[in-house]
Amino acid sequence: MKIAILPGDGIGPEIVREAERVLDVLANEGLPIERARGAIGGAGYDTAGEPLPESTLDLARAADAVLLGAVGGPQYDTLPRDKRPEQGILGIRKALGLFANLRPALLYPELAAASTLKPDVVAGLDLVIVRELTGDIYFGQPRGRRSTGNGEREGFDTMRYTEGEIARIARVGFETARKRSRKLVSVDKANVLDTSILWREVVTEVARDYPDVALSHMYVDNAAMQLVRAPRSFDVIVTGNLFGDILSDEASMLAGSIGMLPSASLDANAKGLYEPIHGSAPDIAGQDRANPLATILSLAMMFRHTFAREDVAQRIEQAVRAALHEGLRTPDIAATGERVVGTRRMGEAVAAALRNA
């Protein structure tokens, strides 16, 4: 189990340190965990002049899985675009061919009050969004800005998917649904977009290989509405890059804090990059205030998807539950009167629960 550890910037190193505490427990139990550390984002720029240094990419290529903290910070905002921290993440996704982004949104009963929706609407929320990550209007050519010739400027992008790209993400959606409640909703805009008409056709064709999964289709505008109206009606959603970007952020808010939500980005062979969905939170960096649970839960996803150790994944998730059940809360998830602890104390509590489980 070769893991590349890329802490990044801001709170990245603090939250990754707590996830490593969990790895320490598992390594002590005898799991064959090997770790190597690299710089990415602003940290990459500071040490090697690049947001994705060649040495970091080599390390990630040699690993089975990558654990990433977060990148970015105000000190890097004025750098030219190719040197900016987020290029590190875009670059590593591209270099490793990570086309499938899995984002679970799960509301822990202990945190029902942290959601902006009424507890009776979100209680029991447990869904996964499978988002295509390397195609669509974010990468389609041609794109640009130009003059129309009559004194006006115009901007244009190209939405584009090949059937191969659609089929491979659809399969990840069906496989994910198969491991859960066998319900898959494919989200598109087939009433308006040709790209979406093809999307719907291909997903329907792939469905023939998964007769045990109930497939339905939904327009993206309706999906955005249903996510806040009846979020529990969803289990697994599969969608393209643009729609998935927006819907997964919407879904994350249903679950309360951004500090609780993990993600996985996978290639065709289950190699993956695992990271919390939040950013580097420069406003609280270095203050022992960051919630490390999204990073620890990302590690659980790593054991589930890359190492095929569902047992270890569940133990990590149960250890997180135990820490919450004990009443421990980092500031971002604390309601009035609850017991507030720091990043380190929360990490220690999860590690202790794991050790005793």
Least distance (Å) between residue 14 CB and ligand NAD: 9
Indicate the residue among 213 and 259 with the shorter CB distance to ligand NAD.
259
Widest pairwise Cα distance in the chain? 72
Least distance (Å) between residue 198 CB and ligand NAD: 30
> Which x/- pattern, by CB under 6 A, does the window 13-32 give for ligand NAD?
--x-----------------
Strand order in the sheet with 214-219: 34-37, 2-8, 65-70, 272-276, 262-266, 100-106, 126-132, 236-239, 183-188, 214-219
Q: Looking at 163-171, 274-282, 315-323, 346-354, which segment touches ligand NAD (CB under 6 A)? A: 274-282
Interface with ligand NAD in residues 285-344 (CB under 6 A)? 290-291, 294, 332
Indicate the residue among 71 and 187 with the shorter CB distance to ligand NAD.
71
256 binds ligand NAD (CB under 6 A): no
Q: How many residues bind ligand NAD (CB under 6 A)?
A: 22
215 binds ligand NAD (CB under 6 A): no
* Spatial CB neighbours of 249, under 8 Å, sequence gap ≥ 6: none
Least distance (Å) between residue 333 CB and ligand NAD: 8
Closest CA to 203 of 177, 173, 182, 181: 173
On whether the CB atoms of residues 228 and 117 are closer than 8 A, the answer is yes
Of 265, 280, 298, 306, which lies in the binding site for ligand NAD, with binding defined by CB under 6 A?
Answer: 280
- Separation CA 157–CA 137 (nearest Å): 6
- Separation CA 22–CA 319 (nearest Å): 10
Q: Which positions are annotated as active-site residues?
A: 138, 189, 221, 245, 249
- Separation CA 19–CA 298 (nearest Å): 9
Q: Is 262 helix (H, G, I), strand (E, B) or coil?
A: strand
Interface with ligand NAD in residues 63-92 (CB under 6 A)? 70-73, 86, 89
Which token pair is 345? Answer: 């104390």
Q: Looking at 90-98, 161-169, 183-191, 272-280, which segment touches ligand NAD (CB under 6 A)? A: 272-280
- Separation CA 160–CA 152 (nearest Å): 26
Q: Looking at 134-142, 145-153, 273-281, 320-328, which segment touches ligand NAD (CB under 6 A)? A: 273-281
Q: Which residues bind ligand NAD (CB under 6 A)?
A: 11, 15, 70-73, 86, 89, 258-259, 275, 278-284, 290-291, 294, 332
